[in-house]
Amino acid sequence: MVEERIARALDGRRVDAELVKVADQEQAARLGMTGSPTVLINGVDPFAVPGTPPSLSCRLYRESDGRVDGAPSVSDLREALNAADSTADCECPPMDAAGRGGRGRLAPVAGALRAVQQAVLRHFAATGEAPSADHLHAAAATHGRTATEVLADLAAEDFITLDDHGRIRAAYPFSTAPTRHRVRLAGGIEAWSMCAVDALGIPDMLGTDAVITSTDPVTGDTITVTSTQGRMTWHPTTAVVYIDQRPCIGPAADVACGALNFFTSPGTARSWAEQHPGHTGKAVAQAQAEAPGRSIFGTLLTASEPAAQLTPPEPSE
């Protein structure tokens, strides 16, 4: 049913689409599936209901007239596709700042880049702080290189950022400097994240429960997101994330992360946007903010073999 409706909604438009058969609960959580069928457009479920847990069960959709159906209506699909198209020509689509223009945050194996990147992330997870080059020599030596050489290459490709002394300033999703976003892991370690999307990706990346604490840039009120066994609970329930769309020239840490923030409500997000006309993004619902965090950071510590960097297909099930 859903495939036929997607085809009708596309009305002849050519897109890259993929039908994914989800085998278990773990895969459902990783992909952001909250019941069958789930439709993702650019990796985001436009019909997501905040707080709905991952599931393999049958999913129901409520139409505008109140009727319930087993798939999104053609009109709702068409509206979601048109909304996605409206940002397609932006210089910096919403998730590019977090995902390197669709290339993802997973460093290549060649040149010890992935080995050192993963060593950096594990050190952050274990200590809440960045490692020095001395801690990374063993990982770099697997390819006959020095840690300093590998860190420079990682910085050149925006997998990390370095300060003027060559020390790690950020290793997405972590930050060495205080930000609005603090993540407390189940074991008690606390770390700063670069932005709201990065914070939301940390529990999945580490496979652990966590509590994210942030503040609304307008009101100063606290927002918390509690991740328990892959399910996220937001407080307040009205909270959203603002996704920026400024031109992506330079490291994401400098040009975008400062505008990827939690807000207590769409209203405060709009107020902030009105005060910062240089930012042309939008506030997104909770499930739409969680999905890119999972997809961008979820495999950073589990991938070991060379693999193609995949961009989520436009509509998929």
Residue identified by tokens 């198209």 is 85
Domains held by the chain: number = 3
SS3 11: coil
For residue 247, name the pLDDT band (cuts at 50, 70, 90): very low
* 128 shares a domain with 63: no
Tokens of residue 216, six digits: 């609304």
Q: Report strand pairing: 55-58 vs 34-36.
A: parallel
Residue where a domain terminates, one of 154, 171, 188:
171
| pLDDT tens, position by position, 2-58 | 888 888 888 877 777 778 888 888 887 767 788 899 888 766 677 776 557 888 899
For residue 258, name the pLDDT band (cuts at 50, 70, 90): low
Q: For residues 211 and 183, is the Cβ–Cβ distance under 8 A? A: yes
* 285 shares a domain with 243: yes
Answer whether residue 221 is part of any domain.
yes
Residue where a domain terminates, one of 119, 145, 171:
171
Q: How many residues does the chain have?
A: 317
* 278 shares a domain with 184: yes
Q: For residues 41 and 8, is the Cβ–Cβ distance under 8 A? A: no
Residue identified by tokens 């200590």 is 127
Return phi, psi of residue 151, to 5°. -60, -40
| pLDDT tens, position by position, 208-222 | 999 999 999 999 999
* 133 shares a domain with 22: no
String of DSSP letters for 269-315:
HHHHHHH-TT---EEE-HHHHHHHHHHHHTTTTT--S--PPPPPPSE
The beta-strand segments (E) located in 12-143 are 34-36, 40-41, 55-58, 61-62, 68-69
Tokens of residue 83, six digits: 């909304």
Answer whether residue 54 is part of any domain.
yes
| pLDDT tens, position by position, 116-167 | 999 999 999 999 999 999 999 999 998 999 999 999 999 988 899 998 889 9
Residue where a domain terminates, one of 152, 171, 190:
171
The arithmetic mean of pLDDT across residues 242-248, rounded, is 63
Q: What is the span of the domain harbouring residue 163?
A: 110-171
Structure pTM?
A: 0.64
Longest Cα–Cα distance of the chain, Å, equals 64
CA distances, 32 to each of 12, 95, 317 (Å): 27, 16, 11
